Structure 1
Amino acid sequence: MSLTIVVHGANGRMGQAVCALVDAAPDLRLLPLTRGSWPASIISPAVVVDFSLPPALPALLQHCRSAGLPLVSGTTGLDPSLEQAMQSLAAEVPVLWAANFSLGVALLRRAAVDLARRLPSDWDCGLLDLHHRHKLDAPSGTARMLAQSVDAARPAGARATDVASVRLGEVPGEHRIVFAGPSERIELAHHADRRDLFAAGALLAARWLATQPAGRYQFDDVVDAGVD
C-alpha cells in the first residue's frame, strides 16, 4: 500500500527536494501543499512532511490534529509557544521534529557528546556553522542542537561552546566541531554535498513514523531503529 506524503512548504528549497524524491519512489504518493492550500481529503495512510517557516506552523498543527495526521517537521527557528504547540499535538498524533535529517549529523552528535564527556574542563569547544546565503536562521537549528548536546555533556567548570555562523554562496551545509586543549585539539566535521540527503532522511523518518503511536520522537529514534 502506498504511503501519501503531504509536503508542506512544497515550493521551498527543501520542499522541492522532498517532492522530487517522493515522485521517484514507487511506494510513495505525492501531495504537495503550497501557501494557503489544504486538500478536502487525503488518501490514507499519510504523513505530513514539513519544511516551511514558523509563521505557517500554527495552521499546520491544527490541520494535523483535525485529520489525525503524523507530522515530520524540519522547520527551525521555533519559539517556545510553537515548541509547546508541537508537544501538545504529540499527545494525539506521532510527531517527529529534527533540526537535521542526516545520518552523518546524528552520528557526529554522538561522537561529539562522547568526547565532551571524556575531556577535562580546561578544554574549550567551538563550532563552525556554514550554510548558503539564503538561510535565515543563524545559528542554524543543527548548530544549536549540537552545541546544546555538547554543553550538557561537559564537566562542571567547562566554558560554553562558542558558535560562529557564516552564510555565503550556495553551501548546502557544513558543521565543524573543535575541541582544543592546552597543547592539542580534536576536530569533527560533517559536510553536506547535496540538499537531497536531508530530504531522503525526512522520508526515512516519515516511513518509520507512519507505524508509530502518538508521541514525540527524534531522528535519533529512526537511527536507533535501524530503518533502511
Structure 2
Amino acid sequence: MSGIGILGVSGRMGRAIANIAAAQDVAIAGGIDRNGEVHGDHTTAAGLADAADVLIDFTSPEALAGHLDAAVAAGTPIVIGTTGLSPEHHALIDAAAQKIALVQTYNTSLGVNMLRGLVEEAARRLGPDWDIDIVEMHHRHKLDTPSGTALLLGASANIGRGAADGRALNRFDRMQEGPHEREEGGIYYASLRGGSVAGDHQVIFATDGERIELGHRAESRAIFAKGAVKAALWLTQGRAPGRYTMADVLGL
C-alpha cells in the first residue's frame, strides 16, 4: 500500500489525520496544501492522486472541483470532509461518484453518526407540535454557518418528519427577517462561534410542558481524524464507484 494522500496537509484536520495515521502505522503517500506546503515528493493534487491509494480532503469548497478532477483522472477514491458545500458542489460529487468510490460526510465521528439515527427516530415518532431546534458551537475561526454537522443532523430530522429531501423543512430566517411567529414543523438553527471549541451540537425537541435534548460534544479533533482514516481504509477495500456515507463505513 502506497498510502493516504492528504489534501490540506498543514491545516488543523490535515495535521490531525497525519498524526492518527502515524499512530496506527498507516502509510502516508504525501500531502499538499494551498499555501505551497508539501509533504513527500508530490506538489500537485494530480501528482498526489496518482501516487496515493486514497485521498482525504478537508480543505475548502473552492478547491473541491480540482481535487475531484484529480481523483477521477487517477481513478483514486477520496474521502471528502469539507464543509460549506453548495448544491453545485454536490452535483460535482455525484458526477465523480459515477467513476470512483468516494465518501462524503460532514462529520466522521462514530458518536455523531449514532446521534443521526436517534434524531431521525425522535423526529419520526414525535408530532409537528414538537418544535425542533439545532444549536451548534465551534471555534472562532470556523467560517460556515450552520456547521455541516448541524445540517447533517437537520437532514436526519427532515427525513424523520417525512420531508421530500434533507432540506425541505430547514428554516434559517428568524434572525434575518426580525421577530415573527415560528412555523409549525420547521427545523430551526442557531450557530455560536468562540474560543477553541472543536464542535458541540444539540438537537432540542420541545413541546408544551416537556423537552428532549440529544447532543454530542467533541473534545478533540482526533475523533474526526480517526473516522477519516477509517473511511479512507474502507475505500481501499475494492469498493465499487459510488457515493458512500459514514453510515456505510461504520455499518450503521
Relative to the length of structure 1, the TM-score reads: 0.92
Partner Cα distance (1:153, 1:168) in 2: 31
- Aligned ranges for residues 110-149 of structure 1 at < 5 Å? 110-149=117-156
Partner Cα distance (2:115, 2:48) in 1: 40
| Mapped pair 1:98 → 2:125 | no
CA contact (8 A) 2:57 2:80 kept: yes
What displacement does 1:14 show? 0.7
Q: Relative to 1, partners in 2 of residues 1:153 and 1:40: Cα closer, same or farther, differing over 3 Å?
A: closer
| Mapped pair 1:201 → 2:208 | no
Partner Cα distance (2:99, 2:50) in 1: 20
Partner Cα distance (2:48, 2:222) in 1: 28
- Aligned ranges for residues 1-228 of structure 1 at < 5 Å? 2=1, 4-35=3-34, 37-38=43-44, 40=47, 46-154=53-161, 158-211=184-237, 212-224=239-251
Deviations 1:145-184 (A, max 9, x none): 1112202312699521111000000000000111111111
CA contact (8 A) 2:29 2:48 kept: no
What displacement does 1:223 show? 1.4
User: Secondary structure at 1:202's aligned position in 2?
Assistant: helix
User: Secondary structure at 2:137's aligned position in 1?
Assistant: strand
User: Secondary structure at 1:76's aligned position in 2?
Assistant: coil
What displacement does 1:42 show? 6.2
User: Secondary structure at 1:213's aligned position in 2?
Assistant: coil
Partner Cα distance (1:107, 1:43) in 2: 34
Q: Relative to 1, partners in 2 of residues 1:34 and 1:116: Cα closer, same or farther, differing over 3 Å?
A: same
Deviations 1:76-97 (A, max 9, x none): 1112222111111111110110
Q: Give structure 1 stretches of 5+ with no counterpart.
A: none
Percentage of matched positions with identical amino acids: 39
How many equivalent residue pairs? 224
What displacement does 1:58 show? 1.3
Relative to the length of structure 2, the TM-score reads: 0.84
User: Secondary structure at 2:190's aligned position in 1?
Assistant: strand
User: Secondary structure at 2:3's aligned position in 1?
Assistant: strand
Partner Cα distance (1:108, 1:40) in 2: 38
RMSD over equivalenced CA pairs, Å: 1.9
4+ aligned runs moved over 6 Å, structure 1: 41-45
What displacement does 1:21 show? 1.4
Partner Cα distance (1:168, 1:142) in 2: 17
